[in-house]
Homo-oligomer: A and B are copies of this chain.
Amino acid sequence: MPEPIGTAAVLRSAYSAGELTTVEIADRVLAAIGDPTGNPIWISTVPAAQLRARAVELHERRDELAVLPLYGVPFAVKDNIDLAGLPTTAGCPEFAYRPDRTATVVTRLLDAGAMLVGKTNLDQFATGLTGTRSPYGRCESVFGGGLIAGGSSSGSAVVVAAGLVSFALGTDTAGSGRVPAACNGIVGMKPTRGLLSVAGVVPACRSLDCVSIFTHTPDDAATVFRVAHGVDPDDPWARPLPADRSAARPPATLRLGLPRAEDLDFFGDLGQRDRFAAGQDRVAVLVGETEPVGLRPLFEAGDLLYQGPWVAERLADLDDFLRSRPDAVLPVTRKVLESGRRYDGAQVFRARHRLQELRAWTDRLWQRIDVLVVPTVGTTFTIEEIDEDPIGRNTMLGRYTQFANLLDLAAVTVPNGFTEAGRPASLTLVGPAFSDTTLIRLAAALAAEPSPSGPTVSGPTAAEPTVSDPTVSKASDASDDDRVLLAVVG
């Protein structure tokens, strides 16, 4: 079984110390992706010769390490993000096209020295939160046991969790950058809309789409975010990060919102309920003060996405394809997309008006608190369980994520140990637009803090997951701040 690739921070230390070369990392990556796991995480990979050539080029430029923040760091991108030279499928072979240009956000990462390995599986057209809606196969969580990988950025989360790359890009409209992080025990950062360019990304809901970042550590997410963000003239949705918001606020100065118990629904999963209770306590000790917060306006906003007129936004770009090639679209995806046809123009505006009222409510919330902590998902499902009710259980998975982009929020998802049943738990720190760096800093403080029941990221149950797969093993990986990382190879 291939040795997991380290974090960007670990690789940087090793490159700096002369203990590692980009060529060695490229060879390890190639060995790992050549080792079939049966998990359909890749849709396409960069040809081996091309990856090696990139590694050689970077090796020859090793004196530029100081100015290349992602020097020699291997990464993957979700296959709805363009890379010149490989097709973009968006999870639909009949939709695939060969882009002339690489997406701006990918170019920024490459310019910073990163090495692109390949393009990952996803729920078709990034529509779904399960990872099971793909003709390229249904991804399983890195923890095995038939657990879903979560979606829509299923492959991107697994390739990071499995240690095949240091980081990956996903996209996040309803929670696609957070749910898969939860299902795979990693960090998922959903930046504020407009900070990472969506030029060269297949649209889901253009007004809401974000590029997201999967990493093992909040520090790595911070590094990738710093490189990846920046106003792109080719992206009409781009927004600059205001200068007065670019510095992270220290956790001790923050007011933390804690959800009222009656607003939390774990869909009967008491293990997740207990993990969240423990997790929010761990966040609470890091901040200045806490305040109870009602979540119902957030849920109402979130319901506009799949249970409301925003489904029609998905049709804005896809309807022609859907009408001309209906059989090319998976039945469940088609059903979701076609539900957008029942909304007329006035209904869209009416929902937009209601959303404005909910945004105003949320704006007032940010006068009382700086960060809100929520479960990432209320419960987890196996692939079989999703098959029993693919739309209803998808909706459950989105409960705590789908409001974020509608309400113009930023979010960082972090692992929160495992339930007694061995399922991964996760929590998400949510803040107003442009709170990105503050959220990452709080996530880093949380990751650095030993939890009452053991190390944060792995946790005692993580060390012995009861939902396991014969191929799952663990390996420790000293990060730059000496905390213990679990790299689980699927």
Contact = CB atoms under 8 A, between A and B. Distances in A.
Contacts of A347: 316, 345
B233 A352 contact: no
Given A312-B349, A341-B344, A347-B345, A238 B207 contact: no
A319 B349 CA distance: 12
Interface string A335-352: 000001101111111101
A313 B349 contact: yes
A192 B159 CA distance: 47
B344 A206 contact: no
A358 to B, nearest CB: 8
A349 B238 contact: no
A360 interface: yes
B316 A346 contact: yes
Q: Which of A344, A349, A360 has the most CB of B within 10 A?
A: A349
A315 interface: yes
A322 to B, nearest CB: 10
A315 B207 CA distance: 22
A359 B312 contact: no
A269 interface: no
Contacts of A359: 236
A344 B238 contact: no
A236 B360 contact: yes
Nearest to A354: B236
Interface string A238-280: 1000000000000000000000000000000000000000000
Given A340-B345, A341-B344, A344-B312, A207 B356 contact: yes
Number of copies: 2
A61 interface: no
A207 B319 contact: no
A408 B341 CA distance: 29
A356 B233 contact: no
A144 to B, nearest CB: 39
Contacts of A313: 345-346, 349
Given A233-B364, A353-B207, A345 B309 contact: yes
Nearest to A353: B206
Contacts of A316: 346-347, 349-350, 353
A349 B207 contact: yes
Contact of A312 (B205, B346, B357, B360): B346
Contact of A360 (B207, B238, B343): B238
A312 B238 contact: no
A357 B236 contact: yes
Interface string A306-330: 0001001101100100000000000
A206 B315 contact: no
Nearest to A342: B345
Contacts of A352: 206-207
A315 B364 contact: no
A237 interface: yes
Contacts of A238: 360
Contacts of A360: 233, 235-238
A347 B347 CA distance: 12
Contacts of A364: 233
Nearest to A315: B346
Contacts of A349: 205-207, 312-313, 315-316, 348
Given A206-B352, A235-B360, 7 more contacts: A205-B349, A233-B360, A236-B360, A237-B360, A312-B346, A315-B345, A348-B349
21 contacts: A205-B349, A206-B353, A207-B352, A207-B353, A207-B356, A233-B360, A233-B364, A236-B356, A237-B360, A312-B349, A313-B345, A313-B349, A315-B345, A316-B346, A316-B347, A316-B350, A340-B345, A341-B345, A343-B345, A345-B348, A348-B348
**Which 9 residue pairs across A and B have the least CB separation, nearest first?**
A312-B345, A343-B345, A236-B360, A315-B346, A316-B349, A313-B349, A348-B348, A316-B350, A236-B356
